[in-house]
Amino acid sequence: MAYRYWCGECGFRTAWLSGPEGERQQIEHYAKRHPGTPPGGHVEVGRIPDGCCGCLLVVAIALLLLVVAAACRR
């Protein structure tokens, strides 16, 4: 899963990251931009992990090429 952390004080948001990395970036943002304020906001959850669709596309193309190669052999 990928997560995006949003600041509760301003419009800052992290990139789509793993949970611990996004949380770390949000804490660093609060320490720098909102000192003394406990981290808040909300977390957006992405359903598809980063890189998943790219791998699926490569596998689909490879299978398509195998089918075309098998059909041309006959």
Burial 4-22 (b: 16+ CB within 10 A, else e): bbbbeeeebbbebbeeeeb
- The 10s digit of each residue's pLDDT in 9-60 is 999 999 999 889 999 999 999 999 999 999 999 999 986 555 556 677 788 8
Number of domains in the chain: 1
User: Residue 1 has what pLDDT?
Assistant: 79
| Model confidence band, residue 71 (pLDDT cutoffs 50, 70, 90) | confident
Domain membership of residue 26 as a residue range: 2-73
User: Residue 53 has what pLDDT?
Assistant: 64
